Structure 1
Amino acid sequence: MLKKDSLIKGTLILAAAALTARFLGLFQRIPLDYMLGPDGQAAFNAANQLYLLLLTVATGGIPITISKMISQRYALGRHDEAKRIYKAALLFGAVTGLILATAMFALAPVYAKISKVPYAVLSLQAIAPALLLFPVIAMTRGYFQGRQIMAAGGISQIIEQILRIIGGIGLALIILGWGYGDDWGAAAIAFGSVFGSFGAFAVMLWFARKLKRQDLAEQRSAGHAVRKPGGATGSPIPFRSIYREIFTMSIPAVVTAMTVQFVYFFDLSLFMRLTQSLYNEESAAVILANYSTKAMSLAGIPPILAIALGASIIPVISSAFSLNKMDEVQRQTSLVMRIVCFTGVPVALLLTVAAYSVTGLLFTSPSGSGTVALLTAGTIFQITMMTSNSILYGLDKPRQPMMHTIVGFGLKVLLSLALAPWLGVYGLIISSSVCFIAITLLNIRTINQQVKLNVLGKRWVPYLIAIAVPAAAGWGAEYGVLALTAAWHDKLSYLAAGAAAALVVGGLYVFLLAALRVVTPEDIRSFPGPLRKLLNLLLKPFYRRAV
């Protein structure tokens, strides 16, 4: 029997699924560097990024909107109306998927020509069929979230990523083993998303059938006849009215959800054109491969934990705001930002200072480690942008982050056009960071108009010291170990250097947070359970009675 999940349990399930899916997604990128050349990597990454952007445009924000609409109707006992909304959402997903898949397949040569990545044609056409099912899957996930059954979406995400990796990498090994070139190998890996869509769809279909049988059984046991859509209230709601409600609520969420995908899509699509005055065609292909395969995959790591922890508190903000408990809203919004500072920054810090060793350990060589370092450093601002977006949603202000995102997009485009011809890939990354910073600052200004944020107060200087000192020490430790282990096998040397940097950065960071009183016992007591236990364990020598 399918049981409803509590708010905390549901949040934990979704966070755990997102964590697992993100890590599995990372392991799809690593084999690219070993299996494909620069052109093949660029082809896969260009196709994958366009696919992710289109998927975000088609579904971003809509499942959340549907979950709210479904939840409201079930709370009011209007079950038939909720099912009518679900039916409308499935129809929208099916039509949208068909249109997007067809357009992506047909226009693949046009996009490849615009982006100057000719190998991308096959990859674009291989990944296009995945768009047939994923919009429908997204709508179904929204419905189950509205019914408070979070496991369905979580399990489908994990199955999707497993089949995507196994199917795509396995098929590529076969294709490349038969002697086909990198364009076919990249297309084979891209086709892994189609395998993932089949797996996710099968999981959602199984849950949907089980829930339908359960609903029918509950109706019979309660002595109710099965009613037609609309029930006793008369004719069913027109789809037109349903779609108007969906789009009114979801368009702001779609715009903000596509920020990171748009930034990466812009870079990959116009990289060859924007940097042609700086790089020749061969070096541009190598740099683009390093950026899209190595830097983008590693840059996806720092936001995972911070966003998952921050997201668990957003419903609390929304609840407190709806009850006009502004003191609690202020406390919780400040706490969320404090959490992302304490948890997101050290991960980004480590990947930045140890970029050379981490890149060399995971990929074929440390080539492109400078790009990895700069992009992972910029994820600090990506984290604050996404978290402040969520806070504004909790404050029932979805339009503001949408407008701020549009401003950020404008800055990204203008700065990329100005900097990329002079600084190449670094110009693109700098422009992305400026985009994230601008959105964050505008979001914080809007939040402060509602409640006064107090993230660290007078502790900003000690906090910056707690960041700068471990960064310098970690960088020194990494290069010291690399020098000492120069005679070792490359991978062992990179592993030792990365481990040394991690120990130095992590140890010094925790020590300085406590020694400089950046983290106080009051902070620790206010954090979510898992983080509170971890910090209490680490800081126990400094704070005897932290909890």
Structure 2
Amino acid sequence: MVKKDSLIKGTIILAAAALVARFLGLFQRIPLDYMMDKEGGIYFGAANNIYLLLLIIATGGIPSAISRMISERYAIGRPGEAQRIYRAALWFGAAAGVVIATLMFVLAPQIAYIMDVPDASTSIRAIAPALLLFPVIAMMRGYFQGRQMMMAGGISQIVEQVARVLVAVGLALLVLTWGWGDRWIAAAATFGSVFGSIGAFAVMLLYARRLRRMDAKDAKTGLAAGKQASARIQAPQEKLPYRSIYKEMFSISIPIVIAAMTVQFMYNFDTSLFLRLTSGFYTSYDAAKQAYDWLGMRAQALAGIPPILAIALSTSIIPVITSAYAARNVKEVQRQTALVMRIVVFTGVPAALALTVAAVSVTGLIFDGAGGSGVVAALTVGTIFQITMMTSSSVLFGLGKTRVPMKSTIIGLVIKVLLSLALAPFMGVYGLILASTLCFITIASLNLRVIKKEVAFSVLGTRWIGYLLTIAISAGAGWATDMACRSLMDALPGKAMYFLSAAATGIVSLGLYVLLLVLLRVVTAEDARQFPGPLRKLLSPIIRIAARSNANSQ
């Protein structure tokens, strides 16, 4: 049976699925990094980035809109309207998939020319068919999220990545043995996304069938009125016209898509205009292409790891806050808002910092050498503010303040473009990354300012000084550990040295972080009780020891 998930459980499911998917995505790039030269990496990165941007445009933020609309209808006892909304979304997803996939395939040469990588047109065409199914899959995921059933989306995401990686690497190896060159290897790798979409769609169909059976069973046992009934038992007058549904859907989704495309827009902006904007900084065209490859193939891939939990939270928090807000449960809205921001602070920030201080070892371990580790570190540290931006936007969406994140995003993107034009000619790739980080800070600050006016909540209160000390000490210790390990183990084979150094850095920085959170009283026993079970078990012994020490000292 498909069961409803709480905020914590739903977040854990989505975060675990996203983590598995992200590492599978990294696994795909490791052999590709060895198979292709920097030109192949540029083709692959260009096709992937334009595909992801067009996917966001094709779905129009509608999955999040569906999630909110579905959860709101079930909260006020209108499941029939919820089913009509779902069907309307599926029709839109099917139409959008056909249109956007066709346009991407036909216009691939023009898109590649604009991006200043003409040979990437083959990769762009290879990945275009994946857009046929993904808009429909996105609509189905939004529906399940609105029903607060996150497992369907999580499993489909994992299956999608497994199918994509296996096909992509297999086809790329086959093309490599034929000696067709980087252009066709990159195209073979991007074609794996088509098989990923087929796998994900099959999983969503399976869960949709299970959910229909559950609703039918509830209806037969007389529980339909209070337990999310199917649309078949609703009175005809409850049906909404599709025109009204689309009007509401787009009024919600347009602000959402503008906010959702922030990161992908910046990645596309950086890769599309990289060679033009940085031509005055790098001494040669080859040096510029090398930095381009490091940004697209290495830094953007690794920088996607720290925001994984924030992405999961951003997805699962919308229906939870929407339901509480629709029921006028102010205390629950305050509690959930504080909880989600606290989770972001306690988990997202250390993940970004640990990866930043171990950037050299992690890059050298995963890829062919540690080249570009400085780019990885610079882009990764900025994800701290990206995480805050994403979560705060989702809280505002749940509160019905959809236009606020849209306005904040527009302001932030204007700052990104202007600063990129000003800094890239003098700082190269680091100028683009700095502009992105300042964009994140701007959007997050504007969002939090509005949230604090709407919802009275406290994340850490007076404990910020202790938290900042925790971050500074654990990050400094991690950086020193990484430097020391690479220096002491220099005689070992490269991969062994990088592995041991990355492992030691992670253990020291994250272990010290957890310990200092408790010793400096940043995390209290009350905070720990709200955490997931595994995290409670980890923190409880430390909290008990700290409590005894404090009692003895008094």
Deviation digits for residues 335-355 of structure 1 (CA, Å, limit 9, x no counterpart): 432322221122111111111
Is the CA contact (8 Å cut-off) linking 1:416 and 1:428 kept in structure 2?
yes
Matches within 5 A, 1:30-179: 30-70=30-70, 81-147=81-147, 149-179=149-179
Is the CA contact (8 Å cut-off) linking 2:68 and 2:146 kept in structure 1?
yes
Distance 1:364 1:87, change over 3 A: same
Shift of 1:356: 0.7
**Secondary structure in 2 aligned to 1:65?**
helix
Deviation digits for residues 118-147 of structure 1 (CA, Å, limit 9, x no counterpart): 231111000000011111121223334445
For 1:339 and 1:235, the matched residues in 2 are separated by 39
Shift of 1:51: 0.7
Identity value in percent: 59
Corresponding letter in the other structure for 1:248: S
**Secondary structure in 1 aligned to 2:382?**
helix
Is the CA contact (8 Å cut-off) linking 1:60 and 1:258 kept in structure 2?
no
Match of 1:251 in 2: 254
Q: Say yes or no: does 1:286 pair with 2:286.
A: no
Corresponding letter in the other structure for 1:419: L
Is the CA contact (8 Å cut-off) linking 1:359 and 1:366 kept in structure 2?
yes
Is the CA contact (8 Å cut-off) linking 1:470 and 1:504 kept in structure 2?
yes
Corresponding letter in the other structure for 1:26: L
Distance 1:313 1:528, change over 3 A: farther
Deviation digits for residues 281-303 of structure 1 (CA, Å, limit 9, x no counterpart): 21111111111111111111112
Is the CA contact (8 Å cut-off) linking 2:478 and 2:509 kept in structure 1?
yes
Distance 1:175 1:385, change over 3 A: same
For 1:404 and 1:71, the matched residues in 2 are separated by 25
**Secondary structure in 2 aligned to 1:119?**
helix
Corresponding letter in the other structure for 2:470: A
Distance 1:534 1:57, change over 3 A: farther
Distance 1:181 1:338, change over 3 A: same
Distance 1:150 1:485, change over 3 A: closer
**Secondary structure in 2 aligned to 1:541?**
helix
Distance 1:468 1:231, change over 3 A: closer
Match of 1:476 in 2: 480
Is the CA contact (8 Å cut-off) linking 1:313 and 1:336 kept in structure 2?
yes
Corresponding letter in the other structure for 1:35: M
Shift of 1:469: 2.3
- Consecutive unaligned residues in structure 2, runs of 5 or more: 225-229
Matches within 5 A, 1:192-203: 192-203=192-203
Match of 1:459 in 2: 463
Deviation digits for residues 297-354 of structure 1 (CA, Å, limit 9, x no counterpart): 1111112235546766666555554555555544543343232222112211111111
TM-score, normalised to structure 1, is: 0.90
Corresponding letter in the other structure for 2:91: L
Alignment match of 2:277 (pick from 258, 265, 274):
274
Corresponding letter in the other structure for 2:353: L
For 2:355 and 2:419, the matched residues in 1 are separated by 25
Shift of 1:394: 3.1
For 1:130 and 1:232, the matched residues in 2 are separated by 38
Q: Say yes or no: does 1:417 pair with 2:401.
A: no
Is the CA contact (8 Å cut-off) linking 1:39 and 1:117 kept in structure 2?
no
Shift of 1:239: 2.8
Shift of 1:501: 1.7
Q: Say yes or no: does 1:387 pair with 2:391.
A: yes
Shift of 1:493: 1.2
Alignment match of 1:519 (pick from 511, 518, 523):
523
For 1:250 and 1:101, the matched residues in 2 are separated by 20
Match of 1:261 in 2: 264
Shift of 1:235: 11
Corresponding letter in the other structure for 1:252: P
Distance 1:204 1:466, change over 3 A: closer
Deviates more, 1:309-318 or 1:33-42: 309-318
For 2:231 and 2:70, the matched residues in 1 are separated by 17
Is the CA contact (8 Å cut-off) linking 2:259 and 2:409 kept in structure 1?
yes
Shift of 1:26: 2.6
TM-score, normalised to structure 2, is: 0.89
Deviation digits for residues 359-417 of structure 1 (CA, Å, limit 9, x no counterpart): 11111100000001111111111111111112222333121111101111111111111
Alignment match of 1:374 (pick from 378, 383, 408):
378
For 2:235 and 2:533, the matched residues in 1 are separated by 46
For 2:533 and 2:317, the matched residues in 1 are separated by 12
Shift of 1:19: 3.1
Match of 2:357 in 1: 353
Is the CA contact (8 Å cut-off) linking 1:155 and 1:203 kept in structure 2?
yes
How many residue pairs get aligned? The number is 542
Corresponding letter in the other structure for 2:6: L
Corresponding letter in the other structure for 2:242: F
Corresponding letter in the other structure for 2:537: K
Is the CA contact (8 Å cut-off) linking 2:10 and 2:316 kept in structure 1?
no
Shift of 1:241: 2.4
Is the CA contact (8 Å cut-off) linking 1:13 and 1:154 kept in structure 2?
yes
Distance 1:495 1:341, change over 3 A: same
For 1:71 and 1:522, the matched residues in 2 are separated by 29
Q: Say yes or no: does 1:506 pair with 2:510.
A: yes
Deviation digits for residues 485-534 of structure 1 (CA, Å, limit 9, x no counterpart): 11111111112222222232123323332333333333323434443333
For 2:332 and 2:237, the matched residues in 1 are separated by 43
Shift of 1:445: 0.9
CA RMSD of aligned residues (A): 3.0
Q: Say yes or no: does 1:16 pair with 2:16.
A: yes
Corresponding letter in the other structure for 1:97: G
Match of 2:227 in 1: none
Match of 2:493 in 1: 489
Is the CA contact (8 Å cut-off) linking 1:477 and 1:497 kept in structure 2?
yes
Distance 1:239 1:179, change over 3 A: same
Q: Say yes or no: does 1:341 pair with 2:360.
A: no
Distance 1:487 1:10, change over 3 A: closer
Is the CA contact (8 Å cut-off) linking 2:466 and 2:522 kept in structure 1?
yes
Is the CA contact (8 Å cut-off) linking 2:356 and 2:377 kept in structure 1?
yes
Deviates more, 1:67-76 or 1:84-93: 67-76
For 1:201 and 1:275, the matched residues in 2 are separated by 41
**Secondary structure in 1 aligned to 2:546?**
coil
Shift of 1:270: 0.9
Is the CA contact (8 Å cut-off) linking 1:60 and 1:257 kept in structure 2?
no
Distance 1:82 1:443, change over 3 A: closer
Distance 1:333 1:71, change over 3 A: closer
- Consecutive unaligned residues in structure 1, runs of 5 or more: none
**Secondary structure in 2 aligned to 1:5?**
coil
Is the CA contact (8 Å cut-off) linking 2:56 and 2:261 kept in structure 1?
yes
Distance 1:391 1:367, change over 3 A: same
Is the CA contact (8 Å cut-off) linking 1:230 and 1:236 kept in structure 2?
no
Match of 1:302 in 2: 306
